[in-house]
Structure 1
């Protein structure tokens, strides 16, 4: 029996089957679990959640004489009520990147925990919680709608240790941003986000020593890696709630337009638009992230390199839209200004891709740090412009990430 109760009625041993609140408003990354820790009850009571569904067939019931707020035998009734509770809570009003960073950071933390749980379930042969994945995609999408700079830039910050999980979050955000740039409808945007979030699920079956090897892979090891699209597809193919295009992204995000990709060697228009989107977002996040065997490229350098891959690897038209969604000088890029100052890009100007907002913090004329100052290159009175990309590995500024985001990868 499913019962809705007040959070004050919770006791250890109850099986929670859903929070009557948006996913980001309750303190857990999951919606279905048994309460075994007193601290979990304390976390719920300290949150804004007022009511919860419990499943008495999987855990303790309310004590005799205590009346629940509602009861049902229908899981569909719970799903409907929770969705109804979440709908009014959606907030997509525009924000500045600085305002969105704090909200996006919470989404990153919670999403990483959820992705880790999905990978663990896949390793144990259990069904992946795609309902949980849908919650994550919604929260990530809302953040991108509020301000695209924050989420797609912040999710790029990751350590080598959490790369696999945060990569899924980052590619989801990039896919949503690209879908919006391509003017896809809400359902197609959700498909793109789900595909991005689940695209690497097959890597749950890849041996850790291969996945995190700090050196070039042997041919045999690369063969193991190349199995992950099919493995991910096989894990998800029987889920009735997943759109076939989500499965297509999972299976074909490593295909190349010249037919040299894997697993099926598809070429040109034989690769779906969603899979071509997935290939671009996957590559961008991979090459801009620190890995066990290499430092990530500066975002603007990555865009320059990727532009050269549109002749045989990436779809040129989709890549053009990707550039518009991320920027020619993506947030986090290190640049040199005409004045001789060096700064880091903190936000984009969508109508002027060559004129982002830059935080200048170093003078090449005096060869010393200066008080950081924001320079909007698109402002009518601005006399500044970007004259060159700069290599972070040459300058080695220790606080480059906090300068533009306020966060370090270890935050996740």
Structure 2
């Protein structure tokens, strides 16, 4: 049974079912949880929201909560399993695989509902954004790198998950707060929802689009904006990213040919994250580019991206993203398996090949940030040049 109460009536032991006001106004990622932490109670009372709905079948009612002394209060639940605040990419990869699978299924269901003309359930998106954000907080490279391995058939759905993760990582790198992270993550998840209004034969065409088909495809930002408005979306940032993630700072983008500061911050961020994931993924009509090489190419596209945000984006994904193939001064080749915080040019590698002997060598983990390591990265290498098969097995 649900009951609406004011903030001054909220007590520990109550089960919070939902919050009054729009979803951006409250300070929590989740809307349904047992209030059993004093810190959460203080945060809730300080939030200034109008009130909350409690479920008295899952937690205390007002009368029982007020009557209970500390000795009479129900014993606290055992603490949930805690994961390390920070961990290696190898440690996070196992969790990230499961998160990616769940997120892909959630986005697929959400987008299929949109294709049928139904409203987007924004509340159902928040747990997905939360899981992605927590994975990024533990190790941003793991989930982002796994999402690049998407197949052509699942591109549209996993692309949305990947852009969400990239937006969260970039938001954290810029230094924005939790509420802004939640909003940018949601924007990344929903930025391409308008593609559900595009005919499937155009959306999934395995060859180059005709001018007429491209004109249809270019309508997806406006169609997505309409879908979100009809769904009751109140987040201006999410709406702006959906509508303007294909704008360019020189005004050559679409749909409104905005320039520089006319493009909102989140949309400028979204433009970078969207393009990066697109060019590093296999799509119906194009093979993926190498992640590290993609950053080099993007840096040369004058007029496309906000330069300051792009430089920050490079810091968030690394000069040598996970799975990058690099050549060392010694002539050995290695795959990046871990970033080194604070030193983007000295990642951890799995070395496996010698260009001098043109043969495989015993695999070795090499941390270039260690003082005793004399080798350095001489440059990037194109995996296609060496015809390496299943290179991703070396890093995940």
- Give the TM-score taking structure 1 as reference length: 0.77
Q: Figure out how many residues of one structure are paired with residues of the other and give that number.
A: 333
Contact 2:233/2:239 (CA < 8 Å) preserved in 1?
no
Q: 1:392 to 1:185 in 2, by over 3 A?
A: same
- Give the TM-score taking structure 2 as reference length: 0.80
Match of 2:338 in 1: 347
Q: 1:257 to 1:92 in 2, by over 3 A?
A: farther
Which deviates further from its counterpart, 159-168 or 88-97?
88-97
How far does residue 90 in structure 1 lie from its aligned partner after superposition? 7.1
- 1:322-362 deviation line (CA, Å, top 9, x unaligned): 00000111111111111111111111112111111111111
Match of 2:391 in 1: 400
Between the aligned partners of 2:57 and 2:341, the Cα distance in structure 1 is 38
Match of 2:129 among 116, 130, 137: 137
Between the aligned partners of 1:112 and 1:395, the Cα distance in structure 2 is 32
How far does residue 212 in structure 1 lie from its aligned partner after superposition? 1.8
Is the aligned partner of 1:278 residue 2:250? no
Match of 2:28 in 1: none
The SS at the match of 2:395 is helix
Match of 1:369 in 2: 360
The residue correspondences of 1:24-35 to structure 2 (distance < 5 A) are: none
Is the aligned partner of 1:326 residue 2:317? yes
Between the aligned partners of 1:264 and 1:138, the Cα distance in structure 2 is 32
Match of 1:172 in 2: 164
Match of 1:387 in 2: 378
How far does residue 214 in structure 1 lie from its aligned partner after superposition? 1.8
Contact 2:281/2:289 (CA < 8 Å) preserved in 1?
yes
Between the aligned partners of 1:279 and 1:89, the Cα distance in structure 2 is 36
- 1:106-144 deviation line (CA, Å, top 9, x unaligned): 000000001100111001111112122111100000001
Between the aligned partners of 1:192 and 1:293, the Cα distance in structure 2 is 28
Contact 2:119/2:230 (CA < 8 Å) preserved in 1?
no
Q: 1:164 to 1:339 in 2, by over 3 A?
A: same
Which deviates further from its counterpart, 104-113 or 237-246?
237-246
Aligned-residue Cα RMSD (Å) equals 2.4
Which deviates further from its counterpart, 94-103 or 348-357?
348-357
Contact 1:200/1:229 (CA < 8 Å) preserved in 2?
yes
Between the aligned partners of 2:166 and 2:129, the Cα distance in structure 1 is 11
Q: 1:269 to 1:218 in 2, by over 3 A?
A: same
Is the aligned partner of 1:124 residue 2:101? no
Contact 1:324/1:350 (CA < 8 Å) preserved in 2?
no
The SS at the match of 2:337 is strand
Contact 1:298/1:391 (CA < 8 Å) preserved in 2?
yes
Gaps of 5+ in 2: 3-16, 18-30, 32-51, 60-76
